Chains A and B, each alone.
Chain A
């Protein structure tokens, strides 16, 4: 009987310490923000926003004196604005060019990996393409699904605006820098791309792997289906890093923010939002 109580209390204590260590982990990741004050401006790549928002939420809830504003605008804008000193942290969905890095003295922080997958409507019978076929589709050489074994309907091309990091990566790695037909519909974000493709049975488009769900069907490229596993293992080639940039060394608050993104709590947020954490 006495032993039983001992075991119980021991288990209780163990559970207590376990709980303490879990909440303690989150608290200790946030601890450096104690006593901090001031404003932090973040802008740039739109894929980053969900992660940034969640991180900002946890930080501000632990210390309401910190103010964080998060804007989109695209990778190009993020690189430029941080370079000009308009914002503290710029986000980019592609690696900045060497010229950009040296011109603005940028410091790179890559905190996640993401793939760019080709997608079609779930009812489309075409489920796999070769690189050559994909390039021909985007130049307009193949213009009917019939040629690929599908229904006799015109292929509706969707692409992203020229400032998009997703477009740059897809164009460079999947299309091998081939032309994109001027007839392609242009949408302004990953979300809009998913909406368009999910609603159009004859569409083909490309989105961030983190955004792929049941509403669209991923196309296997040269036999490799884009998903988190194949991107992580490196089998799926069309991938990219998600970067945050600062001009020179980050300011104290910006540095703490970036540290938090790399902390276990931060990397858990990254995974929750559908990206592959780097740590």
Chain B
């Protein structure tokens, strides 16, 4: 009986893996079939010369260039805010905090992790309305508000992964450096973080992916249908996921729809690119930090 259960679980697991792969292949195949033909330079740059666009000499119309840049800016901005805060809070949770306070914080971060992205967007929007009413009428939804909201959205992922990574380090490794006279901070920076960097980067990847794909937050906090490149963080901006959403609900003809599919493929490609970079960094960082 036990043997039967074991083998049926094995079979089920393989089936599950196959199902997931098939689902992904169906999706990608479908996107390529519908949008593959649009994938060329003009999808990104419209009728503007690519070099002019890249040098910011001319604004791009009918192309995805502003949306791509907007998405990259969003990712960079929100990760710049979220990574330091998330990792520091994670370290605090794993290394300094204990007892009641720890379980209280744990609960708070669990709640934050469960807060739906559209609610985070709503909070960002209400912050904007609040600032607009009481501080300056110049303040409206913008890149900055979106970055802040997205950072808040991914913060619990970063805290959690950092915390679990640190907590799961073998006690032997944990105690060695302090026994040799290292301070708590030295132990964290020199031993514990390098040993868990691979998992932390894993968490960062997850968080980056979330920033890149989220539509509900940016829909409420500053993404617009057309804006060109943002000139400052107080401007509204275009972003790929919002563009896809906009096309999916507003397209006027098959050509525009195909461009939406094209944008979806591009977004997946960008995510794949980020992932590869992160994997490469994961390997490099681990060797660099552990064996310097």
Residues of A within 8 A of B (CB): 39, 41, 43, 46, 49-50, 52-53, 56-57, 60-61, 64, 67-72, 85-86, 187-192, 195, 211, 213, 273-274
Q: Is the CB of B250 within 8 A of A72?
A: yes
Inter-subunit contact B248/A70 (CB<8 Å): no
Question: Which residues of B does A touch, CB under 8 Å?
Answer: 58-59, 61-62, 132, 137, 140, 224-228, 231, 235-236, 246-253
Q: Is the interface of A mostly helix, strand, loop or mixed?
A: mixed
Distance, CA A195 to CA B250, complexed state (A):
10
Chain A residues with CB below 8 A from B226, complex form: 49, 52-53, 56, 68-70
Query: Are A192 and B225 in contact, with the CB atoms below 8 A?
Result: no
* Chain A residues within 8 Å of B61, by CB: 53, 57, 60-61
Are A192 and B249 in contact (CB-based, < 8 A)?
yes
Complex: A85 Cα to B260 Cα, angstroms: 33
Indicate if the CB atoms of A274 and B252 lie closer than 8 Å: yes
- B137 near A85: Cβ-Cβ < 8 Å: yes
Question: Which one of A61, A68, A191, A273 contacts B249 once the chains associate, using CB atoms below 8 Å?
Answer: A191
A49 contacts B225, C-beta separation under 8 Å = yes
Q: Is the CB of B228 within 8 A of A191?
A: no
A-B contact pairs, 10 of them (CB 8 A): A49-B226, A53-B225, A53-B226, A57-B62, A60-B228, A69-B226, A187-B249, A191-B250, A195-B248, A213-B253
Which A residues touch B227, using CB under 8 A?
A: 67-70
User: Chain B residue with minimal CB distance to A64?
Assistant: B59
Contact yes or no, A86 B132, CB < 8 A: yes
Per DSSP, are chain B's interface residues mostly helix, strand or loop, or mixed?
loop
Chain A nearest CB, measured from B69 CB (Å)? 15
A99–B85 Cα distance when bound, in Å, is 48
Q: Which residues of A have CB within 8 Å of B249?
A: 187-189, 191-192
Name the residue on B nearest A187 (C-beta): B249
**B59 contacts across to A, CB distance below 8 A:** 60-61, 64
Q: How far is the CA of A46 from the CA of B224 in the complex (A)?
A: 12
Q: CA of A231 to CA of B142 in the docked complex: distance in angstroms?
A: 40
Taking the nearest CB of chain A, how far is it from the CB of B75, in angstroms?
Answer: 21
Complexed CA–CA distance, A69 and B59 (Å): 13
Q: Are B246 and A72 in contact (CB under 8 A)?
A: yes
B58, B59, B226, B228: most-surrounded residue (chain A CB, <10 A):
B226
Query: In the bound complex, what is the Cα–Cα distance between A246 and B125 (angstroms)?
Result: 23
**Please, which residues of chain A bring their CB within 8 A of the CB of B250?**
46, 49, 72, 189-192
Specify which chain B residues have a CB less than 8 angstroms from the CB of A53 in the assembled complex: 61, 225-226
Quick check: B225 and A72 within 8 Å, CB to CB? yes
Chain B residues whose C-beta falls within 8 Å of the C-beta of A188 in the assembled complex: 249
Known A72-B246, A86-B132, A192-B250; 9 more pairs at CB < 8 Å:
A56-B226, A57-B62, A60-B59, A67-B235, A187-B249, A189-B250, A191-B251, A192-B248, A274-B252
User: From A273, which residue of chain B is reached at the shortest CB distance?
Assistant: B252
Let me know if B224 and A70 touch, CB within 8 A: yes
Inside 8 A of B137's CB, which chain A residues have their CB? 85
Contact call A64/B58, Cβ cutoff below 8 A? yes
Q: Which residue of B lies closest to A188 (CB)?
A: B249
B222 nearest CB neighbor, chain A only: A71
Q: Most chain-A Cβ atoms within 10 A of its Cβ — which of B58, B236, B247? A: B236
Closest to A57 in B: B61
List the A residue with the shortest CB-CB distance to B57: A64
Task: Report whether B132 and A70 are in contact in the complex, using a CB–CB cutoff of 8 Å.
Answer: no
The answer for the CA separation of A106 and B224 in the assembled complex, in Å, is 24
> Are A86's CB and B251's CB within 8 A?
no
Chain B neighbourhood of A50, CB < 8 A: 252
Q: Check B224 against A69 for contact (C-beta < 8 Å).
A: yes
Residue of B nearest to A189 (CB): B249
**In the complex, A64→B140 CA distance in Å?**
23
Shortest C-beta distance, B106 to chain A (Å), equals 38
**What residues on A are CB-neighbors of B251 within 8 Å?**
191
In the complex, the answer to whether A86 meets B252 with C-beta atoms within 8 Å is no
